[in-house]
Amino acid sequence: MQKIGVFVCWCGSNIAGTVDVERVAQAVANEPGVVISTDYQYMCSEAGQLKIRQAIKEYGLTGIVVCSCSPRMHEATFRKTAQAAGLNPYMVEIANIREQCSWIHKDKDEGTEKAIILAKAAIAKLHLNTPLKAGESAVTKRALVIGGGIAGIQTALDIADAGYEVDIVEKSPTIGGKMAQLDKTFPTLDCAACILTPKMVDASAHEKINLFTYSEVEGVSGFVGNFKVKIRKKARHVKADLCTGCGVCTEKCPSRKAPNEFNQGLNKRGAIYIPFAQAIPNVPVIDTEYCVKMKTGKCGLCATVCPSKAIDFEQQDEIVEREYGAIVAATGYKLINLDNFEEFGYAQNKDVITSLELERLMNAAGPTKGTLLRPSDNEHPHEIVFIQCVGSRDVSGCGKPYCSKICCMYTAKHAMMIRDKYPDTKVHVFYIDVRTPGKNFDEFYRRAVEEYGVDYIKGMVGKVVEKDGKLLVQGSDLIANEQIKIEADLVVLATAIEPDPSVKNLATMLTASIDTNNFLTEAHAKLRPVESPTAGVFLSGVCQGPKDVPETVAQASAAAAKVIGLLAKDKLTCNPCVANSNELLCNGCSQCANVCPYGAIEYINKEVNDHGKREVRRIALVNEAVCQGCGACTVTCPSGAMDLKGFTTRQIMAEVDAICK
């Protein structure tokens, strides 16, 4: 039998105003196991806590019930109080007689009666409480960053600078991501490569950072502090340790059919290629789909010209298994497919391009060496129309319901840069709203309008059709309330962005959740924005939601700070209110594992002693470091083998019984 102390709090007049606290204390004084029942003005105050600590010692209490405010408010406080007096912190139960009693009931008798019942329910539950001990698990002091764009690079650099090892896994042949493709960055118009490539070099040169480029995560097991990850290093068919990056192979390759991804397919590249001049690592890759040697067996010119004999047509994918304490998802984004937006004629007209294609057309390292020429005839365009919100804020189902956030600013940037470089070019921008919430953003946009004379038209474009070598843009001007037609040479679509498709598979592997738009969900939208709900998994960059470069970098560093905080610990303390399986009752049917959102249940073959009968059985084993204590398994289990500590079946039924007495 437990020796229980009941402590009824007045909370000043918050509780005592509508609940007769003395009557509550008296009413439960004779409940089985209760050895002391008392009330006090403020139980959470130092004096109130002292009262509890003294009573625990004086009466040798084995558990306490505090009738007070919500456990969400002070459960932790009273657990600490109990612990300070030598009691197990989980031998504390709270009866919520403020939020769920005194504050909502006006009649004092009614409130008092209810408070007594709630106190009795807490006592009934406490009788079945057992001391719980939080488990501990070790932390592998290494982090994995998935994605090598600016988000992943920044996160990795910050973690590495704090002294921890970091691996970056990037699926393309080089790190750098989308930012490497950008020409200039708003609102300061720095050249993207000038600010990004030094960071790429830092990352590759950092002694704590390992790069796995042209690699993909293939499987994740384990849990916070102890992840095991399988990484597939795809075959480059070039031996990285021998290659000097001289580039002779890429020049001599006779195949020139492959679209150049880095230039958004605006020109072609060889079958053996380095994505761009500053790529890291500076090691080419053979694109087996276009390589003549790989397809027909005849050619092999690259191998002949390679001075360091680095070409290896036989190279195979390699699987490496690494252990990590924390994982950061930084998988970034892609532009949406424009098939649903036939009205803009993107597929039909070469001169209807996306903004990312325009970045390449304006970049000195791009297909036109930085001179703005239209893709169809390499002529300089004199009239350009930008269309904003193509697929963004679209509730019709064709596009995305959310704002892609970066388009207003990059469109202003493009318009301004074109007007600056080619003053003879007219620039029109169709917009729904211009959104410039950022430091120096609105100033930037106003400069585009006021200093550079960009023609902003509030309204949407209905149709873009080709007419006599020009693009006839038909749209509406909502302010002038008129239909307008513009004969443009080039149309640029501010295309919506969406999470990189690889995130879906990754989310499954990480048991991290994604929202209806496939963005990874945060543990809490406001208060834990860089953590995923799965412990030990963090979010960096656009995989969590649209954001621009400065925001991405800020979030990347925030995620790094969270990772560093985790890796700095030698041991993790687990929540002790977790599921546990009674091995004598377990049927081994695996139903619990099917409902566990965390993959916390594994099955083992174990010899059990069932009342003298020894046999090997297949039984469930809960990994207490992974289990978060939801209890889904407890209801799925037909035999009742699975129970939840702190919320056991018998505890909850004892509460039901006490309430329904």
Partner 1 sequence: MQRISEEILSKCRALLEDGTADRVMGWENGEFYYDVTPAVFTKDNLDNMIYDDFCASNQSKYFILESKKEGKIVALLKPCDTYSFNQLLKENRINRDNVYVLGIPCDGKIDVQKAALLGIKGITGVKSVGDEVVFETIYGEKSCAKKDVLFEKCMSCKGKKHMIYDALSNEEQEPETAIANEDFGNRFAYIENLEHMTPDERFDFWRGELSRCIRCNACRNVCPACSCLTCVFDNPKSGVDSKANTDDFEENLFHIIRAFHVAGRCTDCGECTRVCPQNIPLHLLNRKFIKDINELYGEYQAGADIELGMPLTSYTKQDAEPSIVYERGGNK
Partner 2 sequence: MQINENNKEFKPLIVAFCCNWCSYAGADLAGSSRLSYPANVKVIRVPCSCRVNPMFILRAFQRGADGVIIAGCHPGDCHYTSGNYFARRRMTLLFSMLDYMGIEKGRTRVEWISAAEGAKFSATMNEFVETIHNLGPNKKLEDLRCKE
Q: How far is the CB of 634 from partner 2 (least distance, A)?
A: 6
Which of partner 1, partner 2, none is residue 96 near (CB under 5 to 8 Å by kind)?
Answer: partner 2
| Residue 636 in contact with partner 1, rule: CB under 8 A | yes
Pick from 499, 182, 178, 170: nearest CA to 333:
499
| Residue 340 in contact with partner 1, rule: CB under 8 A | no
Q: How far is the CB of 587 from partner 1 (least distance, A)?
A: 6
Pick from 518, 331, 333: nearest CA to 407:
333
Q: How far is the CB of 593 from partner 2 (least distance, A)?
A: 13
DSSP string for residues in 130-160: ------EEE--SEEEEE--SHHHHHHHHHHH
Choice between 505 and 594, CB closer to partner 1 = 594
Q: How far is the CB of 615 from partner 1 (least distance, A)?
A: 8
Choice between 105 and 252, CB closer to partner 2 = 105
The strand pairing partners of 217, in sequence order, are 231
Angle between helix axes 407-421 and 441-450 (nearest 10 degrees) is 40
Which of partner 2, partner 1, none is residue 143 near (CB under 5 to 8 Å by kind)?
Answer: none
Choice between 113 and 531, CB closer to partner 2 = 113
Interacting span for partner 1 (CB under 8 A) from 401-409, 488-496, 502-510, 586-594: 586-594
Pairing of strands 142-146, 326-329: parallel
Residue pair 498/517 in contact (Cβ under 8 Å)? The answer is: yes
Which of partner 1, partner 2, none is residue 400 near (CB under 5 to 8 Å by kind)?
Answer: none
Q: How far is residue 630's CA from residue 461's CA, in Å, rounded to a whole number?
A: 50
| Residue 128 in contact with partner 2, rule: CB under 8 A | no
Q: How far is residue 300's CA from residue 313's CA, in Å, rounded to a whole number?
A: 9
DSSP 656: H
User: Which of 595, 621, 628, 647 lies at the binding interface for partner 1 (CB under 8 A)?
Assistant: 595
Which of partner 2, partner 1, none is residue 42 near (CB under 5 to 8 Å by kind)?
Answer: none
**Vertex 264, ends 145 and 235: CA angle to 5°?**
50
| Residue 585 in contact with partner 1, rule: CB under 8 A | yes
Residue pair 243/314 in contact (Cβ under 8 Å)? The answer is: no
3-state SS, residue 485: strand
Pick from 164, 143, 146, 165: nearest CA to 218:
146
User: Which of 594, 600, 655, 661 lies at the binding interface for partner 1 (CB under 8 A)?
Assistant: 594
Which of partner 1, partner 2, none is residue 618 near (CB under 5 to 8 Å by kind)?
Answer: partner 1
Choice between 318 and 602, CB closer to partner 1 = 602
What is the Cα Rg of the chain in Å? 32
Which of partner 1, partner 2, none is residue 585 near (CB under 5 to 8 Å by kind)?
Answer: partner 1
3-state SS, residue 184: strand
Pick from 576, 530, 580, 578: nearest CA to 555:
530
Two structure tokens written together for 582: 């009674």
Which of partner 1, partner 2, none is residue 298 near (CB under 5 to 8 Å by kind)?
Answer: none
Interacting span for partner 2 (CB under 8 A) from 35-43, 67-75, 358-366, 400-408: 67-75
User: Which of 20, 31, 39, 113 lies at the binding interface for partner 2 (CB under 8 A)?
Assistant: 113
Q: How far is the CB of 125 from partner 2 (least distance, A)?
A: 9
Interacting span for partner 1 (CB under 8 A) from 321-329, 421-429, 455-463, 583-591: 583-591
Characterize 85-116 residue by residue with b for buried, 16 or more Cβ atoms within 10 angstroms of its Cβ, and e for exposed.
bebbbbbbbbbbbbeebbbebeeeeebbbbbb
The strand pairing partners of 619, in sequence order, are 604
| Residue 518 in contact with partner 1, rule: CB under 8 A | no
User: Which of 58, 597, 602, 616 lies at the binding interface for partner 2 (CB under 8 A)?
Assistant: 597
| Residue 634 in contact with partner 2, rule: CB under 8 A | yes
User: Which of 41, 172, 518, 591 lies at the binding interface for partner 1 (CB under 8 A)?
Assistant: 591
Which of partner 1, partner 2, none is residue 493 near (CB under 5 to 8 Å by kind)?
Answer: none
Choice between 102 and 255, CB closer to partner 2 = 102
Pick from 192, 171, 521, 157: nearest CA to 334:
171
One symbol per residue from 551 to 590: x for binding partner 2 (CB under 8 A), - otherwise; what is it?
--------------------------x-------------
Q: How far is residue 164's CA from residue 149's CA, in Å, rounded to a whole number?
A: 20
Q: Return the residues of window 490-549 that contact partner 2 according to CB under 8 A.
A: 511, 513, 515, 533
DSSP 434: -
Interacting span for partner 2 (CB under 8 A) from 201-209, 220-228, 535-543, 650-658: 650-658
Q: Return the residues of window 255-314 that contact partner 2 according to CB under 8 A.
A: none
Strand order in the sheet with 63-68: 34-40, 4-9, 63-68, 92-96
For residue 525, what are the contacts with CB-CB under 8 A and spacing of at least 6? Answer: none
| Residue 653 in contact with partner 1, rule: CB under 8 A | yes
3-state SS, residue 370: coil
| Residue 639 in contact with partner 1, rule: CB under 8 A | yes
Q: How far is the CB of 231 from partner 1 (least distance, A)?
A: 28
| Residue 35 in contact with partner 1, rule: CB under 8 A | no
Pick from 72, 87, 276: nearest CA to 178:
276
Q: How far is the CB of 595 from partner 2 (least distance, A)?
A: 6
For the CA atoms of 170, 172, 173, 179, the dihedral, rounded to the nearest 10 degrees, stands at: -80
Residues that bind partner 2 (CB under 8 A): 70-73, 96, 98-101, 103-107, 110-111, 113-114, 117-118, 121, 511, 513, 515, 533, 577, 595, 597, 628-632, 634-636, 644, 647, 649, 652-653, 655-657, 659-661
Interface with partner 1 by CB under 8 A: which residues? 584-591, 594-595, 603, 610, 615, 618, 636, 638-640, 649-650, 653
